[in-house]
């Protein structure tokens, strides 16, 4: 490379940094409009603001601490970016839902957008592509279509119980596998042989989501603070080369999944089972999505499902190890409703309120996305006299929202009864319908609310009722026979906050139940494989 070219690029680099600093300083010095007041918040350093006070891990605890000091809506600043932190559900609803037209953008997370080629629904802004892809995702995940996938979810839930009972130490993989294989069937219409083919999918999608999580950590890439670095040529910007390699790798995995379905659809002699891909191919003209966009739209559903439900299920297992009395209560309920002669299924949903209460309380007590999923506001706004500037990042801090003592008395206690007994503010009748996960803050707010809520509700219900019908989970004992403790709180500090590895044993509750489950799962899986090969009906 020529020396003058290097020098010119270095000058460009310094210039872009200076420009950004000036831009940030100007931004910071802007006063709030007349008749409004600035949001309260911690004082920060010139330029950097509070950037160095925000921990890179478990930031939700610091945000909750600040909420206790500055109130349920306050602001923090980092290098000219204003972050508005919300700690009460009613405020999240007022802004993110009722004023959804202003509050449905996403902060510009450059690296997550680059590694997903601007195609990942959760990471992109309020764009025309988002509207088209969201309409498609919402339609595929609607009640009627999701209901059709219940048999597949049931088979995977049962397989998960069998795997867990065989080797509980690999629980993280078994739970993830159940979610990924349901998605692969639902979205791409694929049924795979157990083993290697399945492992490949789990590995690909999990590592993809881990990369998104990793590059989204604030402070990981300078370009997030200094967007002008995007103007640098690739050879001087290693982040660009890294992002483009990752995007290519994901594309090489995702595109053939749809391509396979397209070829099958074009050549099919009789109707194949439905999948989101097949539904798309049948109604292609309704969606206005290009061939490239549909690959990413489908992968957004696939990616959104990965890690999330499995994390919720890990917390549920951990909580039933910690609180065996609640495990006993759900087992008594399941025993009464389901009994010995059949396996639990989705038809039992309305009869098992305690199962639903354990699921919902686990998701409240240990939120999957503890720090919340940020939105951004597209225009200046005023809320209760406070000025909220255009472009501000809005953080609905789920940890604080779901530990709000007004709505959840004794918020730090695991209390499934808050969903079952009338003296609690969260109780709702009838118990055949409530508690359920609809409109639950753990799934976000407004136009960006998680479209996968119903899939999750069904998957968790099936997994919990199947697991505790067939088995009990208990503390493991060491070689001296002493019970090994499980931690009360030891979770990762990133976007999807997962319990760190814990130990437990899985015991069959009554001889024959696992065999019954295994036979049912095996028969259903063989049937799915036959249909996929075009041998069945
Ligand atoms: C325990 C399970 C899950 C939890 C806790 C969860 C939570 C969330 C949250 C908090 C958001 C952001 C909402 C907002 O910005 O206000 C989100 C977005 C999203 N979720 Fe989920 N989710 C779960 C499962 C799923 C599943 C199973 C799917 C797919 C089948 C899915 C697909 C998506 C997608 C595509 C988005 C992006 C939506 C957008 O930006 O427009 N999620 N989820």
Closest ligand 1 atom to residue 312 Cα is 1
**For 71-116, how does the pLDDT look when each residue is reduced to its tens digit (9 = 90+)?**
999 999 988 889 999 999 999 999 999 999 999 999 988 999 999 9
pLDDT (0 to 100) of residue 1: 46
> How many structural domains does the chain have?
1
What's the 91 CA to ligand 1 centre distance in angstroms? 20
Question: How far is residue 466's CA from residue 468's CA, in Å, rounded to a whole number?
Answer: 6
Q: In the structure, which protein residues have their CB atom closer than 6 angstroms to any atom of ligand 1?
A: 121-122, 134, 137, 141, 300-301, 304-305, 308-309, 312, 368-369, 373, 375, 442-445, 448-452, 455-456
Can you name the residues that pair with 83 across neighbouring β-strands?
Answer: 76, 393
- Which one-letter DSSP state was computed for residue 349? G
pLDDT (0 to 100) of residue 340: 94
**For 417-451, how does the pLDDT look when each residue is reduced to its tens digit (9 = 90+)?**
999 999 999 999 999 999 999 999 999 999 999 99
Q: Which two structure tokens, joined as six digits, stand for 172?
A: 């993280």
- The answer to whether position 218 is within a domain reads yes
**For 246-290, how does the pLDDT look when each residue is reduced to its tens digit (9 = 90+)?**
999 999 999 999 999 999 999 887 777 899 999 999 999 999 999
Closest ligand 1 atom to residue 183 Cα is 30
pLDDT at 18 over 60: no
Dmax of the chain from CA atoms? 81
- The answer to whether position 111 is within a domain reads no
Q: Phi, psi (5° rounding) for residue 477? A: -110, 145
Question: How far is residue 40's CA from residue 49's CA, in Å, rounded to a whole number?
Answer: 14
Please say whether the beta carbons of 79 and 51 come within 8 A.
yes
- The answer to whether position 100 is within a domain reads no
pLDDT at 2 over 90: no
Question: How far is residue 158's CA from residue 269's CA, in Å, rounded to a whole number?
Answer: 32
Measured by CA distance, the residue closest to atom 11 of ligand 1 is: 450
Mean pLDDT (the chain, rounded): 93
Average pLDDT estimate for 116-128: 94
For 204-240, b where at least 16 C-beta lie within 10 A, e where not — what string?
A: bbbebbebbeebbbbeebebbbbebbeebeeebbebb
- The answer to whether position 152 is within a domain reads yes
pLDDT (0 to 100) of residue 413: 98
Measured by CA distance, the residue closest to atom 32 of ligand 1 is: 304
- The answer to whether position 430 is within a domain reads yes
- The answer to whether position 146 is within a domain reads yes
| Structural domain containing residue 404 | 129-532
Measured by CA distance, the residue closest to atom 33 of ligand 1 is: 304
Measured by CA distance, the residue closest to atom 40 of ligand 1 is: 122
pLDDT band, very low/low/confident/very high, at 396 (cuts 50, 70, 90): very high
pLDDT band, very low/low/confident/very high, at 12 (cuts 50, 70, 90): low
Average pLDDT estimate for 455-462: 98
- The answer to whether position 300 is within a domain reads yes
471 appears as a binding residue in the annotation: no
- The answer to whether position 120 is within a domain reads no
Ligand 1 binding pocket mutation candidate from 308, 366, 436 (most atoms within 8 A of CB):
308
* 102, burial (CB in 10 Å: exposed 0-12, middle 13-18, buried 19+): buried
Q: Phi, psi (5° rounding) for residue 101? A: -65, -25
Closest ligand 1 atom to residue 374 Cα is 15
**For 33-58, how does the pLDDT look when each residue is reduced to its tens digit (9 = 90+)?**
999 999 999 999 998 899 899 998 99
Q: Which residue has better confidence, 233 or 18?
A: 233
**For 296-327, how does the pLDDT look when each residue is reduced to its tens digit (9 = 90+)?**
999 999 999 999 999 999 999 999 999 999 99
Q: Considering the chain, what percentage of its residues have pLDDT values greater than 90?
A: 83
CATH of residue 287 = 1.10.630.10
**Bridge pairing between strands 81-86 and 73-78:** antiparallel
**pTM, to two decimals:** 0.94
Average pLDDT estimate for 455-478: 98
């Amino acid at each position: 490379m020529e020396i003058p070219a290097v020098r010119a690029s270095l000058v460009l680099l310094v210039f872009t940094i200076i420009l950004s600093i000036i831009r940030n300083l100007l931004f910071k010095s802007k006063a709030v409009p007349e008749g409004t007041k600035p949001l309260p918040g911690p004082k920060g350093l010139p330029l950097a603001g509070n950037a160095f006070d925000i921990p890179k891990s478990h930031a939700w605890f610091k945000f909750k601490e600040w909420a206790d000091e500055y109130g349920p809506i306050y602001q923090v600043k980092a290098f000219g970016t204003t972050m508005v932190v919300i700690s009460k559900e009613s405020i999240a609803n007022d802004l993110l839902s009722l004023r959804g037209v202003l509050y449905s953008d996403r902060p510009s997370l450059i690296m997550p957008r680059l590694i997903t080629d601007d195609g990942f629904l959760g990471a992109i802004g309020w764009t025309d592509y988002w509207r088209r892809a969201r309409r498609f995702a919402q339609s595929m995940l609607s009640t009627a279509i999701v209901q059709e996938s219940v048999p597949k979810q049931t088979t995977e839930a049962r397989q998960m119980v069998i795997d867990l009972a065989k080797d509980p130490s690999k629980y993280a993989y078994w739970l993830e596998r159940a979610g990924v294989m349901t998605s692969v069937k639902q979205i791409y219409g694929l049924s795979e042989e157990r083993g290697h083919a399945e492992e490949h999918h789990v590995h690909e999608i999990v590592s993809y989501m881990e990369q998104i999580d990793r590059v989204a950590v604030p402070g990981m890439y300078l370009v997030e603070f200094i967007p002008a670095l995007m103007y640098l040529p690739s050879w001087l910007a290693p982040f660009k080369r890294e992002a483009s390699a990752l995007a290519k790798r994901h594309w090489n995995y995702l595109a053939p999944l749809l391509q396979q379905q397209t070829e099958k659809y074009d050549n099919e002699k009789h109707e194949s089972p439905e999948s989101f891909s097949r539904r798309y191919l049948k109604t292609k003209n309704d969606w206005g999505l290009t061939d490239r966009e549909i690959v990413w739209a489908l992968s957004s559903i696939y990616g959104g499902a990965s890690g999330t439900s499995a994390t919720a299920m890990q917390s549920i297992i951990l909580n039933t190890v910690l609180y065996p009395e609640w495990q006993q209560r759900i087992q008594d309920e399941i025993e009464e409703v389901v009994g010995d002669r059949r396996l639990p299924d989705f038809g039992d949903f309305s009869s098992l309120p305690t199962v639903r209460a354990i699921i919902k309380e686990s998701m409240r007590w240990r939120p999957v996305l503890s720090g919340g999923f940020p939105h951004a506001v597209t225009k200046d706004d005023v809320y209760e006299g406070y000025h909220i500037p255009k472009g501000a990042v809005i953080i609905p801090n789920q940890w604080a929202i779901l530990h709000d003592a007004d709505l959840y008395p004794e918020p730090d206690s695991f209390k499934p009864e808050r969903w079952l007994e009338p003296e609690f503010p969260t109780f709702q009748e009838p118990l055949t319908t409530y508690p359920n996960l609809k409109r639950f803050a753990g799934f976000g707010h407004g136009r960006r609310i998680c479209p996968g809520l119903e899939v999750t509700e069904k998957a968790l219900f099936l997994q919990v009722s199947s697991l505790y019908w067939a088995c009990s989970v208990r503390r493991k004992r060491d070689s001296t026979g002493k019970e090994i403790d499980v931690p009360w709180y030891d979770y990762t500090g990133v976007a999807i906050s997962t319990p760190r590895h814990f130990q437990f044993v899985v015991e069959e509750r009554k001889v024959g139940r696992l065999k019954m489950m295994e036979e049912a799962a095996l028969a259903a899986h063989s049937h799915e494989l036959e249909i996929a090969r075009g041998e069945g009906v």
